[in-house]
Structure 1
């Protein structure tokens, strides 16, 4: 074991440093994991900018993580040193009503590894053994790094119910929007429209299977989307979660349709057209994170080739250049930026 390890500390977007700290030791029920690949999430960028409603600065990031088990704590079964694992970062209590019902993603005392606790953007980290999944032998580390980001859309699509033969609008062609496109197509959606402000992102959505990708700021967006879908969307996935996107979703969705809010909104109030939601019997539902079932589905979808790392991963940086990775993630043309860890 090294005497010290490297760990990323985020104080702000302009103050991201490598701190050197003693290595952690696994407690009972925990694993000690050596990081291999860690993703920079949109939530990380919002947090670093001071805009995330649930992450306080400073924080130590790394919730999209792939690594290798190096040691096990007391009582751990089913894992051994050398196992490759992917982190499921929702740290739930296991006692509250949502946890007891299986919906531990909305635990009343939920904390997220790498958001409210020190994360995996480090040489080594510890985590309860029940918060990781073994990486299938057929998946590379880069593929495995997409499991956590894809699990969020898998959960959102499951919330929408059976999509077979239905029409879908996805608002936002960032990483979550593009992966929602893949998850919705896999779930049987007949036609999918993806919107975004940036032309490059719209082109990427078309390459990845969208039937149309109109500009999010088009004055006739509703007409363009309805024409591409053959009518209003049965389901809208709002991966932007702002006042404008919610207004667009309300206009785009069919009477009796479903809006699933996938993106993380800013703190405070967001005006919505309650008159239209009531009059059209529109169902608006939030979607938070994922459960084990969503992780299994994400791994299977990646293994099938329907989601390819080469389509999503647009940049990688070593751990020592984590600040550059965060800055690169600010570029709207980037999709998924990864940090690779070579070891202490």
Structure 2
């Protein structure tokens, strides 16, 4: 009899279920992977709430996934069964100008495993062998589950250029904002201020190394941030990506500074002060996902202990309680919620 395969199906935030589907078989150059740990991303909860501009409901999540290779297709035998892997979920064409220049994270035909295709929030899944990275022997599965979410901040920080001795503002102290904090500090930022609406998140940001953490809707936010940084921020990372946060970013950033948009914006237009962007020579740049170089850098950061993984991972749930895990991910006391899959 075929091996049963449980897989999470999200129809809405209030309708998350487990479907049973046939166990997949690896095709040429593919791996069959048994999931061990899967992270719930902000993109997952946005999609479940119907707010993500690029993920349609229903969908089958799981792009932050760690697992163990159980079988290989022809051409993928260099991954022995038992090898622990993490998925790099960007599925790209390899032939468009962006791919050919090495920027496959913005492939013209980009799809994301677990967003536009069924993902790894399941017992078993298949994935092209070139879309995984080996997990170092000394790294736990829980630590490895943070590589994918850390790779996005690593990529964003690289976009900002050399941060050595520079000042930084991070808007939003959710998982991505806190990991931007860690990546920016590791990259040499001299002073970092973080903003958030919630006391608990601001307190956590300070514990994780922020020089100051400010109320995001404070009337005098820009002046308070400038006081912490001894002037305007050289770089602002907007991990919220809403009209209010973009307005704040323009107020916070120095003349000639950079604003890096890390958060996923809401569908539709977002007004900004173009007069100030022009007059102050402010550079606004988007950042999407990562490449293999960012994954390798994220692996190194976690292996070095530069990221306090215990402070980031705040809850784990078994696969059968995926609905509870999604609900927990929306609770303000949590940063990163993980789903674990017991060995068959």
Asked if TM exceeds 0.5, the reply is yes
**What SS does the aligned partner of 2:116 have?**
coil
Deviations 1:236-265 (A, max 9, x none): 000000000000000000000000000000
Deviations 1:34-88 (A, max 9, x none): 0000000000000001110000000000000000000000111431100000000
Q: Is the 8 A contact 2:32 2:125 kept in 1?
A: yes
Asked if 1:216 is matched to 2:228, the reply is no
Deviations 1:187-223 (A, max 9, x none): 0000000000000000000000000001001111000
TM-score (ref. length: structure 1) = 0.99
Match in the other structure for 2:166: 166
Q: Partners of 1:2 and 1:149 in 2: how far apart? A: 34
Q: Partners of 2:288 and 2:177 in 1: how far apart? A: 15
Match in the other structure for 2:278: 278
Deviations 1:221-241 (A, max 9, x none): 000000000000000000000
Q: Partners of 2:3 and 2:276 in 1: how far apart? A: 61
Match in the other structure for 1:315: 315
Match in the other structure for 2:119: 119
Match in the other structure for 1:59: 59
How many aligned residue pairs are there?
Answer: 344
Q: Partners of 1:251 and 1:68 in 2: how far apart? A: 47
Q: Report the CA distance between 1:2 and its aligned residue.
A: 4.7
Q: Which runs of 4+ in 1 moved over 4 A?
A: none
Q: Partners of 2:313 and 2:78 in 1: how far apart? A: 31
Q: Partners of 1:2 and 1:181 in 2: how far apart? A: 46
Q: Is the 8 A contact 2:208 2:308 kept in 1?
A: no
Q: Report the CA distance between 1:3 and its aligned residue.
A: 2.9
Q: Partners of 1:153 and 1:18 in 2: how far apart? A: 31
Match in the other structure for 1:46: 46
Match in the other structure for 2:36: 36
Structure 2 counterparts to residues 34-113 of structure 1, below 5 A = 34-113=34-113
Structure 2 counterparts to residues 164-313 of structure 1, below 5 A = 164-313=164-313
Match in the other structure for 1:336: 336
TM-score (ref. length: structure 2) = 0.99
Q: Is the 8 A contact 2:316 2:340 kept in 1?
A: yes
Q: Report the CA distance between 1:332 and its aligned residue.
A: 1.8
**What SS does the aligned partner of 2:214 have?**
coil
Which consecutive unaligned segments of at least 5 residues does structure 2 have? none
Q: Partners of 1:320 and 1:309 in 2: how far apart? A: 24
What value does the CA root-mean-square deviation take over the aligned residues?
A: 0.8
Q: Partners of 2:12 and 2:108 in 1: how far apart? A: 28
